[in-house]
Amino acid sequence: MWHQKTLTELSEALSTGKVTSVELTDHFLNRILHFADLNAFLDVNNDFSRKQAQIADEKIKSGKAGPLTGIPLAHKDVFVTREWRSTAASNMLENYVSPFDASVVERLGPDGAGMVCLGKTNMDEFAMGSSNENSAFGYSFNPWDIDRVPGGSSGGSAVAVAAGLAPAATGTDTGGSIRQPASFCGLTGLKPTYGRVSRFGMIAYASSLDQAGPMAKNAKDCALLMNAMGGHDPRDSTSLDMPAENYSRHLGQNWAGVDGGSKEEKPLAGLRIGVPKEFFSEGLSAEVRVKVEAAIAEYEKLGATRVDVSLPKTELSIPVYYVLAPAEASSNLSRFDGVRYGYRCNNPTDLKDLYERTRGEGFGNEVKRRLLMGTYVLSAGSYDAYYAKAQKIRALLIQEFKEAFQQVDILLGPTTPTTAFKLGEKTNDPVSMYLSDIYTIAINLAGLPAVSIPVGFLDGLPLGMQLIGRPFTEAKLLNAAHRYQQATDWHQRRPGGIE
């Protein structure tokens, strides 16, 4: 069954003529229709997808295909596209169709890597949420248990890959929005170093935190996607001007060989894994702790050395995040005023009425909550007490990570404190919802790369752990994840009832 295959396997099947891109695309489009009740997609256009597949098949026949040419994928609806609506799951943009493609869409699409877009996936409105329950168009359902959330904000992308509706998907991570749904849905999700992937055409939430990344079945697939997605983009002022990277180059290498040492018998000999004690304190489910400790033991079998470290200021990451991110959102979302584009209220009496009713009717409750918080902390009477102080703590947090990486090569911890929680369980308790990102937010504040990988199951639900690296070490992180996945099979398991 094609939906069970990895990107590498699909690439080989396409190049050897076992299947065409049109056939693959039809296979996934049929699955999207069959499992429409999961509400993973907000917009699908079969004609557009098949047209892209036909172009890919012509490239394959001419011998001009790359490793991803002809493989379908899904895009989170935060990336603007020319052929599909780009709504950010908000009534504010319900009928918006962009005149241009986001860089991520462009680089992965027909004029780039040659992948075929299957459609746009559901998400929390303007990427604000941790459960996918904030979408204006209904929430997505976790295919492992439809009574539970898939995570957010990239929940629709996670559902699409986990349910076999797409072999891979794009996501964005502002405070854990790739890694947390990857953990809840049994996937591998990479949050790259800030600036590695262009933000051009990505509908902004918090500009100093937002980062695009891949979601797929395993680390090898994420590396292939990053090879196409990453790279400098002069249209994005936050894009890092660095040489092109091959994120697959270390896969399968021994860690000692990667760092120029002698070849060791065990693949990860020489790897120092830092385990922050704050990630294993009160608030972490005891069952999750057991699973993550077992994963650490597996790494030790592969030759890695455990080093206990402390990151005391990470406990401040949630209050810091919920000062800085809403402040940036307050600025970014000010453009949605009913004048330039997007939703406009009916029959406004004057300009003030236009602004107030347009934003009041167009935005959902969580977006309004964060805009209010952001506007407040930026106000003259609160700026120094909240925003300026949060920026100072952010600087201290970055320094704390730098000091930790003087002792270790990577950091390891749980991605989430629990497995996926039930739909509606936390909707009336925003603080409890925010705490579900307690282990992921600090990485965004520091701009570091991190990858979440599956490490087991609890009561039939998947859970993940994250590997965190120094800036620009995605290739090494993906190798460490790949080595673990070579030794285990958690990432190969799929939810029942979706075959």
> Which residues form the catalytic set?
76, 153, 177
The residue assigned the tokens 């169709």 is 97
- Secondary structure of the chain as H, E, C letters: CHHHCCHHHHHHHHHCCCCCHHHHHHHHHHHHHHCHHHCCEEECCHHHHHHHHHHHHHHHHHCCCCCCCCCEEEEECCECCCCCECCCCCHHHCCCECCCCCHHHHHHCCCCCCCEEEEEECCCHHHCCCCCCCCCCCCCCCCCCCCECCCCCCHHHHHHHHCCCCCCEEEECCCCCCHHHHHHHCCEEEECCCCCECCCCECCCCCCCCCEEEEECCHHHHHHHHHHHECCCCCCCCCCCCCCCCCCCCCCCCHHHHCCCCCCCCCCCCCEEEEEHHHHCCCCCHHHHHHHHHHHHHHHHCCCEEEEECCHHHHHHHHHHHHHHHHHHHHHHHHCCCCCCCCCCCCCCCHHHHHHHHHHHHCCHHHHHHHHHHHHHCCCCCHHHHHHHHHHHHHHHHHHHHHHCCCCCEEEEECCCCCCCECCCCCCCHHHHHHHHCCCHHHHHHCCCEEEEEEEEECCEEEEEEEEECCCCHHHHHHHHHHHHHHCCHHHCCCCCCC
